[in-house]
Amino acid sequence: MAILPETSIDRYLGTNYAPNDDEIKEVELCISGGLQRLEAIKDEVALIKVQLEGLLKESAEIHGLIRGHQALLSPIRQLPADLLREIFVACLPTDRNPTMCRDEAPLILTVVCSHWRQVALSTPRIWAAVHIPIPQPVSSISSPEQDAQRGAVIQRRREGVKEFLSRSGSLPLTISLYYDALRGSAISSSSTNALLESIIPFAARWKNVAIAGPSAAFSPIRELQSDLPQLQSLRLSVFRHEIHGGGTVSWKDSKLVKAEGLRSFYLTSMDENIMDYPVKWSQLTDLSLVTPRDWIASAFKSSDLHRILQLSPALISCTLAIRHESLDREATFSSVSLRHLETLKIEELTQWPNFFAAFDVPSLKSVEYFPRQACPSGRSSLLALLSRVSNSKNLEKLRTSPHFLDSREFVEILGYCGSLRSIFISEATAFQRSRQNGTINPINDYLLQLLAPRELPHDVSDTHPQAINSTDQLCPKLTEFIVRTQSIISDHGLLTFISRKQSTQSTDKSNKLQIVDIHFHRRRVHDIMPDLSAFIKAGMKARIQYSPPNVRGPVSLYDGLP
């Protein structure tokens, strides 16, 4: 059907043809008819629009009613309050204490609906732990207006803390306090102390307390006189700070340290003798004594640490980050019996094998060891420690940085770990220096050959001078192999290792690799992931990463660009 009637000059449409007088009249008549039809169409469109708007409005109303009724049928509305409380508890952070921020649990649970608010406010468990940072001024030089604003913030936070903890009923409390020593000026007793004093009325219910910041900032807590009958865990990451009082501030007379029920104790290095602390060492199950890495010397004397460990036979977990103040390498230590110890973490600036050779730890399950320097005596602290548990069937996890170890020594260390199921090799800070000294990187293809369930070739010692005279497989129960440091493992060597470990002919199913996570500090030579597809399909998790290509250099086309 033609939209407009045909004319005698339709064939000239889209050209530069100029019509004569008769043709002009014919075109004008055609256009007039088209304009009349347009007006009729506009009227029809307006009528249809009115009908469409009515239908759309009715549709929106129906949708709204349907959504409202569907919401009434939502499964979450049918949950009993006890189950909803369990869900609320599961919403809390698991790696830290909850904050008082409205964007996370528990506070966010109170603004969803009135029912959730009622349930949240009647669930003491979600209010029994809190992290409290002490507000600091923006700069060390503040104006009276800034001081007033900070005082107002502290006052609001003080009121928030009291309201938060008051909802915890009679449950034991977990509290972490943080004061940023890198910001702010001298401590204001009228404002900062007011915030700290807001938690003192709840002291009888303190169970786990963590304090981080300049020691002088926490005077109301340190000088607390009331007993702490429920305190089980104390973490003191405190230190002296010139801005916040340069004098020595002691915690040894604090009620926190003297708590009768203390089971877990963490302390950073202080300017006082650790033996002066009246901690009930014999009942501790968790002990951490840590010297900050940026401190030149340690206040923890090795002789005192040795004595404390002898007094702590109930330890299950222990962390020692120490700098031995004296290194008489010929000195010997009497036995340290830690028969229940399962987790041991060690960081040494200088290795002292005789110190750890005295440890009797038959129940040890997990070891983390990080040296900062090579051992000049040729025998590392890790080797001295593990040689004492050579017959243990409990040791399952080892995390270390072996670049300060001789390759032969690292193999010897693993030889004592017959039940090991997880090896995590982390970064070493001075690895390049150890290589310059002629040390062979111990994380190599030869190590993988020893970890694989197959005898070594007879000529392996010709190509690997660190080879030992043994064809026994190291760590036959290994299921996790993680490398996050520089290595000289080849793609082919890694593929061979994985293939042999996953071989059904030579490996028990329970001893197959479950996790392989390697980060190479080099470019990929051969893509082995297609070759691992069958193992991955069978359940092995594999992540192999390579460094991106280096586009910088003396003749790089990227020079001068960010």
448-481 pLDDT, tens digit each: 999 998 654 444 444 444 444 445 789 999 999 9
Residue 437: predicted pLDDT: 47
Residue 504: predicted pLDDT: 59
Break the chain into its structural domains and give their ranges.
396-552
**CA dihedral (155, 161, 167, 170) positive or negative:** negative
Residue 562: predicted pLDDT: 64
**Collapsed DSSP state (helix, strand, coil) of residue 423:** strand
Residue 173: predicted pLDDT: 97
For the stretch 334-363, pLDDT in tens is 899 999 999 999 988 778 888 888 999 999
In angstroms, the CA 373 to CA 353 distance is 13
**Collapsed DSSP state (helix, strand, coil) of residue 159:** helix
Count CB-CB contacts under 10 A for residue 512. 19
In angstroms, the CA 451 to CA 471 distance is 10
In angstroms, the CA 221 to CA 47 distance is 78
Within 13 Å of residue 235, how many CA atoms lie on the same side as its CB? 15
In angstroms, the CA 236 to CA 266 distance is 6
562 residues of the chain, pLDDT tens digit each = 556 777 788 888 888 888 888 888 888 888 888 888 888 899 999 999 999 999 999 999 999 999 888 888 888 888 899 999 999 999 999 999 999 999 999 999 999 989 999 999 999 999 999 999 887 765 555 667 766 777 788 888 899 999 999 999 999 999 999 987 665 455 555 677 888 999 999 999 999 999 998 888 888 999 898 889 999 999 998 876 555 444 557 788 899 999 999 999 999 866 667 888 899 999 999 999 987 765 555 557 778 888 999 999 999 999 988 776 666 666 778 899 999 999 999 988 778 888 888 999 999 999 999 887 766 666 788 888 988 876 678 899 999 987 777 788 888 899 988 899 999 998 754 434 444 444 578 899 999 999 998 654 444 444 444 444 445 789 999 999 999 888 889 999 999 999 999 885 555 677 899 999 999 988 899 999 999 999 999 999 999 999 876 656 666 666 666 6
Residue 340: predicted pLDDT: 95
Angle between helix 491-501 and 529-537 (nearest 10): 20
Q: Are 497 and 475 a contacting pair, CB within 8 Å?
A: no
Closest-CA residue to 61 (of 50, 69, 73): 69
Closest-CA residue to 490 (of 459, 523, 517): 523
Question: For tokens 């995590």, what's the residue?
Answer: 424
Burial code of 130-143, b = ≥16 C-beta within 10 A, e = fewer?
bbbbbbbbeeeebe
Say if strands 129-133 and 286-290 run parallel, antiparallel, or are unpaired: unpaired
